[in-house]
């Protein structure tokens, strides 16, 4: 209790419940957490794209170890709500658990809970049932607001509970995403969202994510003219500069890094934001990009386009512009499994992000780690303003952003190419008036690169006058300080530290020259960055300093926790000091050395004692390398026995569709309608929102019935198959591609002679629905219909004629009433096999025919292949195992077919042979049983023509390390639970 509170209590005599202290505040520079200006360095993670909650911890630990202090999460409304009024937050939907984990792992959290998120999700994250609302979404339409309140009443309390100081680490909350329409209706909607969040107990500062630095929804308090005011406290925006890969799958030069703060428009007014009274805040900054159906498989290239160099140039430019809250989209992209993907993307949402889809740390994560450690080591960076320009001699191809902290006068010198997308070689000299005097030093830039240099900085108990090397991190180890700097291998470097008198300099390792200027008190060190130099500096009226000066690779080998530095293994997850012993947990992908600086005498690695010796730089060094993972052998699926069944009985005239829904009369609120008078066939109107839908239409044959023209909505790279009386008449596939995939199509089919014979005939249609559009532009695009839109029969001259067709429809069994709640709304569509539980592990397929997959022949419609395989990944090892279809080197097959991949009942993706590009589907542990039996069920859809059948299928190892987190298989119901009467 504070003194004042105690006095108040004493004077009034009553215990008044004081409002909880507001722990997150801000000024125009930065957030303040418990009053302390704090730079937020964040990256994005989507829990719904990793359906194995124990692995969420792996991602969070990898983010933390990569230098981030914050994780930003989208929460996908539709993922939690299959039906109006029905919500689920258990199992893979346990947001409470995720937020607890983030707290346990020491990460702040930014929550972005919709209602609309975009995120390349089907409907941009809206639930399926919302598309049946007539009122316009993202407005103040009362029915829409009522739906929104239903969601917010569920999610807001979970968020409120995990706010910083109230039981968790949430520091910021987003109320809408990229709402670029700003009519009075949107203003009222925004106010409603804000008020609802406050009413539900959310007290942290709130923001909206502007689609670019447009100044939409700048907080009212900022009194900026020419913008649309918003109710929230903070202004945030997103940006994806830096170019995209070419179709040749090569990185492109891209545009220079934009100045979106101090050096950009409005920056002159002193603000780093379009909102001068609030901090510069990038709620999303491109750390990769999504990839689309039919590409050449761009993720590896996207990782390079926004990889090394890009990160230093672009994130550095943001930091120099005073953007004190920066979140990289995505930190881990993951998998748009099942029917999560919007039409613009395929299953993999790898995004080219620092942590790849299989949970490997890409090389670019190491660079992020260096930036993140630097930002954490220099709290002065949270408050920046412009400092006077510096002088650059020797090159016109360089620019230096010179910033200062108004409180400490610390300087940031951000050295970048000019323009910043240039990739030449520059050698130059920078002269600057710094807090400790006027100094000149040489520097270089080669290729795509930039440097974040600091000067005039109190570094632990030392004084850094300037350095041409980049500071990475520091620790305080008892009486000694340790500072780690780095530079490009082979480049000369220098730094000046200040002392009252000449200190003693001992070069322990490497070649470092030193000289002392007693007039200024400057100790000048010169060296070439190579490996890791170690220098001890003692005396000079300061505590001793161990200076580590590495090349980039040496710097990148370091992990840091409070008071501890470690290097060697691929990943250090946790470092816990217990007495004089250090307990390290982490991963090795190969036999790895280990070196540790910290206040300890002995070390355990993943629970095993590690014999150590002490080095001359007083670190502990493991006497033997840490062990590598064992080699992993995977079962050969081509040698396995498979079970086979045909799976399109709906096509047959005598198929019993008595349980299906009569289609036609439901209210139609879709954005595309059939011609007047025609029935509403859109699947959503009948409660079928995700995955495949089947239609059966009975009509009387007639001599006129020569063609059928079908308007359908199948989403990105979706398809329609049309059958008459059990025979495939044809199929129609939609193209993928950017910028907007084709999501509806019109196809004309010639009807076979049967249609012209009297009597009843059955048209059967299967629509493979690849996602609903997002609603990015607030035009209700998510209400574009899916399934059939209209069907017209025509005669030989092409004139359509009225023939009554009695339609029935069947999608996912139960529609909005989920049978399989654990796997949830995005797992299943309406294939016959899905409705019958053929995807489930304990479904008895013993009566099916048995075969080898190599003997499979194409089938007209959908056919099913099932097999089982056993895995025995050692318990102390982490792996991601994937399923590969066909030849990984070619994005497309000559064959024309598609596959839904069910692993242990989970729909883990769709392969479209002739569209591509994805052939390898990572299956996370927890879905895949790493120690036990697995069931694979493939639903193959084809026109049955030769060559249009399943290619060889194999298991592949996509990630393998010794270490990892412990994973429990996700709890799911069995076939027996779901089909008790069978």
119 binds ligand IPT (CB under 6 A): yes
Name the nearest CA neighbour of 282 among 43, 68, 468. 43
Candidates 111-119, 197-205, 438-446, 827-835; binding stretch for ligand IPT (CB under 6 A): 111-119
Nearer to ligand IPT, 177 or 935 (CB): 177
Tokens coding 981: 């009467």
CB of 120 to ligand IPT, least distance (A): 5
* Cα distances (Å, whole numbers) of residue 559 to 18, 372, 566: 41, 11, 5
Nearer to ligand IPT, 118 or 561 (CB): 118
| Contacts with 953 (C-beta within 8 Å, 6 or more apart), sequence order | 637, 638, 853, 883, 884, 885, 938
The dihedral region occupied by 333, where left means phi > 0, alpha psi between -120 and 50, and beta the remainder, is alpha
Candidates 90-98, 118-126, 765-773, 815-823; binding stretch for ligand IPT (CB under 6 A): 118-126
CB of 178 to ligand IPT, least distance (A): 5
335 binds ligand IPT (CB under 6 A): no
CB of 306 to ligand IPT, least distance (A): 12
| Contacts with 849 (C-beta within 8 Å, 6 or more apart), sequence order | 643, 644, 645
Nearer to ligand IPT, 244 or 628 (CB): 244
Q: Which of 120, 449, 470, 684 binds ligand IPT (CB under 6 A)?
A: 120
Name the nearest CA neighbour of 595 among 660, 507, 532, 679. 532
Contact 112, 177 (CB under 8 A): yes
Nearer to ligand IPT, 125 or 963 (CB): 125
Residue 982 burial by CB count (10 A; 0-12/13-18/19+): exposed, middle or buried? Answer: exposed
CB of 345 to ligand IPT, least distance (A): 9
Name the nearest CA neighbour of 275 among 239, 314, 229. 229
Residue 447 DSSP class: S
CB of 117 to ligand IPT, least distance (A): 6
Whole-angstrom distance, CA of residue 233 vs CA of residue 203: 11
Whole-angstrom distance, CA of residue 913 vs CA of residue 293: 11
Strands (E), 65-137: 70-74, 108-112
452 binds ligand IPT (CB under 6 A): no
Residue 318, strand partner residues = none
284 binds ligand IPT (CB under 6 A): yes
Candidates 51-59, 116-124, 799-807, 818-826; binding stretch for ligand IPT (CB under 6 A): 116-124
Nearer to ligand IPT, 114 or 824 (CB): 114
CB of 129 to ligand IPT, least distance (A): 21
Give the contact letters, 65-104, x = binds to ligand IPT (CB under 6 A), - = no: ----------------------------------------
Nearer to ligand IPT, 293 or 597 (CB): 293
Nearer to ligand IPT, 330 or 554 (CB): 330
Contact 560, 572 (CB under 8 A): no
Residue 981 burial by CB count (10 A; 0-12/13-18/19+): exposed, middle or buried? Answer: exposed
Q: What is the 3-state secondary structure (H, E, C) of 836-899?
A: CCCCCCCCCCCCCEEECHHHCCCCEEEEEEEEEEEEECCCCEEEEEEEEECCCCCCCCCCCEEE
290 binds ligand IPT (CB under 6 A): yes
Whole-angstrom distance, CA of residue 570 vs CA of residue 573: 10
Nearer to ligand IPT, 125 or 687 (CB): 125
Nearer to ligand IPT, 105 or 284 (CB): 284
Q: Interaction with ligand IPT in 535-574: which residues (CB under 6 A)?
A: none
Tokens coding 98: 């995720």
Nearer to ligand IPT, 211 or 214 (CB): 211
Nearer to ligand IPT, 211 or 709 (CB): 211
Candidates 115-123, 153-161, 421-429, 672-680; binding stretch for ligand IPT (CB under 6 A): 115-123
Nearer to ligand IPT, 118 or 462 (CB): 118
Nearer to ligand IPT, 236 or 953 (CB): 236
Give the contact letters, 180-219, x = binds to ligand IPT (CB under 6 A), - = no: -----------------------------x-x--------
Q: Which of 117, 137, 856, 913 binds ligand IPT (CB under 6 A)?
A: 117
Half-sphere exposure of 35 (CA within 13 A, CB side): 1
175 binds ligand IPT (CB under 6 A): no
Whole-angstrom distance, CA of residue 782 vs CA of residue 915: 23
403 binds ligand IPT (CB under 6 A): no
CB of 357 to ligand IPT, least distance (A): 15
Radius of gyration of the chain (CA): 31
240 binds ligand IPT (CB under 6 A): yes
Candidates 117-125, 168-176, 480-488, 754-762; binding stretch for ligand IPT (CB under 6 A): 117-125
Name the nearest CA neighbour of 212 among 776, 635, 607. 776
CB of 126 to ligand IPT, least distance (A): 13
177 binds ligand IPT (CB under 6 A): yes
Nearer to ligand IPT, 291 or 522 (CB): 291
Sign for the CA dihedral angle at 210, 89, 905, 300 comes to positive
Candidates 113-121, 484-492, 599-607, 764-772; binding stretch for ligand IPT (CB under 6 A): 113-121
Candidates 114-122, 196-204, 608-616, 759-767; binding stretch for ligand IPT (CB under 6 A): 114-122
Q: Interaction with ligand IPT in 600-629: which residues (CB under 6 A)?
A: none
Nearer to ligand IPT, 326 or 680 (CB): 326
CB of 119 to ligand IPT, least distance (A): 4
CB of 285 to ligand IPT, least distance (A): 10
CB of 235 to ligand IPT, least distance (A): 15
790 binds ligand IPT (CB under 6 A): no
244 binds ligand IPT (CB under 6 A): no
Q: Binding residues for ligand IPT, how many (CB under 6 A)?
A: 12
| Contacts with 579 (C-beta within 8 Å, 6 or more apart), sequence order | none
Whole-angstrom distance, CA of residue 390 vs CA of residue 399: 9
Q: Give the distance from CA 418 to its chain's centroid.
A: 31
Nearer to ligand IPT, 101 or 330 (CB): 330
| Contacts with 656 (C-beta within 8 Å, 6 or more apart), sequence order | none
291 binds ligand IPT (CB under 6 A): no
775 binds ligand IPT (CB under 6 A): no
Nearest to ligand IPT by Cβ — which residue? 118
Nearer to ligand IPT, 145 or 282 (CB): 282
Q: Give the distance from CA 708 to its chain's centroid.
A: 43
24 binds ligand IPT (CB under 6 A): no
Whole-angstrom distance, CA of residue 921 vs CA of residue 357: 9
Strand 612-614 versus strand 620-622 pairing type: antiparallel
Q: Which of 54, 178, 350, 925 binds ligand IPT (CB under 6 A)?
A: 178
* Cα distances (Å, whole numbers) of residue 7 to 1, 13, 18, 65, 157: 10, 10, 13, 44, 34
Strand 906-912 versus strand 953-962 pairing type: unpaired
Nearer to ligand IPT, 178 or 589 (CB): 178
Phi, psi torsion values for 370, nearest 5 degrees: -65, -45
At which residue do the structure tokens 């993928």 appear? 736
Binding interface with ligand IPT (CB under 6 A) = 117-120, 177-178, 209, 211, 238, 240, 284, 290
């Amino acid at each position: 209790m504070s003194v004042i509170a105690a006095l108040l209590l004493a004077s009034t005599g009553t215990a008044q419940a004081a409002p909880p202290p507001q722990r997150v505040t801000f000024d125009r520079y930065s957030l303040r957490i418990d009053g302390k200006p704090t730079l937020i360095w964040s990256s994005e993670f989507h829990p719904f794209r990793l359906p194995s909650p124990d692995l969420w911890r792996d991602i969070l630990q990898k983010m933390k170890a990569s230098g981030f202090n914050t994780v930003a999460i989208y929460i996908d409304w539709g993922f939690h709500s299959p039906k109006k009024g029905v919500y689920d937050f258990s199992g893979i939907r346990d947001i409470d658990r995720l937020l607890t984990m983030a707290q346990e792992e020491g990460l702040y959290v930014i929550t972005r809970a919709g209602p609309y998120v975009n995120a390349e999700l089907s409907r941009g994250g809206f639930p399926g049932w919302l598309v049946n609302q007539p009122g316009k979404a993202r407005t103040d339409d009362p029915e829409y607001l009522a739906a929104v309140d239903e969601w917010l009443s569920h999610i807001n309390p979970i968020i409120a509970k995990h706010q910083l100081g109230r039981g968790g680490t949430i520091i910021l909350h987003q109320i809408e995403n990229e709402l670029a329409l700003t009519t009075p209706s949107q203003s009222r909607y925004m106010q409603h969202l804000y008020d609802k969040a406050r009413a539900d107990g959310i007290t942290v500062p709130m923001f909206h994510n502007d689609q670019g630095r447009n100044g939409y929804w700048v907080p009212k308090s900022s009194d900026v003219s020419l913008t649309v005011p918003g109710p929230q406290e903070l202004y945030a925006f997103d940006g994806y500069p830096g170019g995209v890969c070419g179709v040749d799958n090569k990185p492109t030069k891209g545009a220079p890094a934009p100045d979106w703060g101090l050096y950009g428009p409005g920056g002159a007014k002193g603000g780093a934001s379009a909102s001068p009274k609030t901090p510069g805040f990038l709620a999303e900054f491109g750390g990769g990009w999504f990839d689309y159906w039919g590409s050449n498989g761009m993720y590896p290239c996207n990782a390079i386009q926004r990889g090394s160099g890009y990160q230093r140039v672009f994130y550095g430019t943001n930091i120099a512009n005073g953007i004190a809250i920066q979140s990289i989209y995505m930190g881990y992209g993951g998998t748009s499994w099942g029917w999560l993907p919007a039409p613009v993307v395929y299953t993999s949402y790898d995004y080219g992000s620092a942590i790849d889809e299989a949970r490997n740390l890409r090389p670019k994560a190491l660079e992020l780690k260096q930036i993140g450690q630097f930002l954490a080591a220099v709290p002065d960076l949270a408050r920046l303003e412009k400092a006077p320009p510096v002088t650059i001699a020797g090159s016109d191809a360089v620019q230096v952003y010179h910033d200062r902290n108004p409180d400490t006068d610390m300087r940031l010198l951000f050295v970048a190419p000019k323009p910043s997308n240039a990739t030449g070689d520059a050698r130059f000299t920078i002269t600057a008036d710094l807090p400790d005097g006027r100094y000149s030093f040489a520097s270089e830039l080669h290729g795509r690169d930039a440097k974040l240099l600091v000067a005039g900085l109190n570094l632990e108990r030392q004084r850094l006058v300037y350095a041409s090397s980049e500071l990475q991190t520091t620790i305080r180890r008892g009486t000694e300080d340790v500072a780690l700097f780095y530079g490009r291998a082979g480049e000369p470097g220098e730094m000046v530290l200040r002392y009252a008198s000449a200190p003693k300099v001992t070069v322990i390792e490497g070649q470092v020259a030193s000289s002392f200027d007693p007039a200024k008190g400057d100790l000048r060190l010169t060296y070439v960055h190579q490996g890791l130099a170690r220098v001890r500096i003692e005396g000079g009226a300061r505590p001793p300093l161990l200076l580590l000066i590495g090349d980039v690779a040496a710097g990148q080998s370091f992990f840091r926790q409070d008071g501890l530095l470690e290097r060697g293994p691929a990943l250090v997850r946790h470092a816990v000091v217990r007495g004089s012993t250090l307990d390290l947990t982490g991963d090795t992908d190969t036999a790895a050395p280990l070196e540790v600086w910290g206040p300890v005498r002995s070390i355990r690695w993943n629970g095993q004692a590690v014999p150590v010796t002490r080095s001359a730089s007083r670190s502990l060094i493991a006497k033997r390398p840490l062990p590598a993972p064992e080699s992993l052998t995977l079962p050969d699926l081509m040698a396995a026995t498979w079970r086979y069944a045909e799976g399109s009985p709906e096509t047959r005239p005598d198929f019993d569709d008595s349980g299906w829904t009569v289609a036609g009369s439901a209210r139609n609120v879709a954005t595309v309608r059939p011609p007047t008078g025609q029935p509403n066939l859109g699947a959503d109107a009948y409660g079928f929102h995700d995955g495949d839908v089947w239609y059966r239409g009975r009509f009387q044959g007639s001599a006129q019935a020569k063609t059928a023209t079908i308007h359908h909505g199948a989403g990105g790279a979706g398809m329609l198959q049309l059958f008459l009386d059990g025979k495939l008449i044809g199929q129609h596939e939609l193209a993928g591609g950017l910028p907007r995939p084709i999501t509806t199509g019109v196809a004309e089919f010639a009807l076979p002679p049967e249609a012209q014979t009297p009597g009843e005939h059955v048209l059967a249609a299967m629509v493979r629905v690849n996602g609903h559009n997002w609603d990015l532009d607030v035009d209700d695009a998510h209400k574009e219909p899916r399934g059939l839109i209209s069907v017209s029969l025509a005669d030989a001259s092409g004139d359509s004629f009225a023939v009554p067709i009695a339609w029935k429809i069947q999608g996912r069994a139960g529609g909005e009433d989920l049978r399989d709640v654990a796997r949830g709304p995005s797992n299943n569509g309406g294939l016959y096999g899905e409705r019958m539980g053929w995807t489930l592990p304990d479904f008895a397929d013993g009566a099916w025919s048995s075969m080898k997959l190599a003997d499979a022949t194409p089938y007209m419609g959908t056919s099913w292949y099932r097999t089982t395989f056993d895995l025995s990944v050692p318990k102390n090892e982490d792996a991601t195992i994937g399923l590969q279809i066909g030849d990984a080197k070619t994005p497309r097959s000559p064959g024309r077919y598609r596959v839904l991949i069910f692993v242990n009942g989970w729909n883990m993706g769709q392969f479209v042979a002739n569209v591509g590009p994805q052939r390898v589907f990572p299956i996370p542990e927890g879905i895949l049983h790493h120690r036990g039996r697995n069931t694979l069920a493939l639903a193959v859809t084809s026109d049955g023509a030769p060559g249009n059948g399943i290619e060889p299928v194999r298991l592949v190892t996509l990630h393998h390390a010794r270490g990892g987190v412990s994973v429990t298989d996700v709890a799911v119901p069995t076939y027996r639970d779901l089909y008790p009467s069978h």
